[in-house]
Amino acid sequence: SAVISQKPSRDICQRGTSLTIQCQVDSQVTMMFWYRQQPGQSLTLIATANQGSEATYESGFVIDKFPISRPNLTFSTLTVSNMSPEDSSIYLCSVVPLAGAYTDTQYFGPGTRLTVL
């Protein structure tokens, strides 16, 4: 399966600042997604990262708060803007690979653990 890396792996940020999280895949993928996992909770889809166009956001998530870029088939960024303590979560990217055992389902990166003070 695709090898997915995320940077940073964790960060502690001040209220009101922004953090950009990077997701890099070692092979081309069809789809890339961004999820949020609040403490002790399940995964919630933030948006689908579309290559070369605006991301598709789920209900409750907006571009101004979570701008996303996907300039090519192997890289995407998620920015958490104007952060508050409620944004403290694990942020995960996932991909649907072009090749491998399961080419139509999602594999997850290691996550970025964000704490906002």
Partner 1 sequence: GQQLNQSPQSMFIQEGEDVSMNCTSSSIFNTWLWYKQDPGEGPVLLIALYKAGELTSNGRLTAQFGITRKDSFLNISASIPSDVGIYFCAGQLRGGSNYKLTFGKGTLLTVNP
Binding site for partner 1 (CB under 8 A): 1, 4, 31, 33, 41-43, 45, 48, 92, 96, 102, 104-111, 113
Least Å distance, CB 108 to partner 1, is: 4
Which is nearer to partner 1, 14 or 42 (by Cβ)?
42
> Position 64: which residue type?
D
d(CA 88, CA 81): 12
- Listing DSSP states for 43-89 in one string gives -EEEEEEPTTS--EEPTT--TTTS-EEEEETTEEEEEE-S--GGG-E
Q: Least separation, in Å, of the C-beta of 4 and partner 1?
A: 8
- 39-46 contacts: CB < 8 A, separation 24 or more? 39/88, 39/89, 43/92, 46/78, 46/91
Nearest approach, Cβ of 57 to partner 1 (angstroms)? Answer: 13
**80 or 109: whose CB is closer to partner 1?**
109
Between 45 and 73, whose beta carbon lies closer to partner 1?
45
| CB of 44 vs partner 1, minimal distance in Å | 8
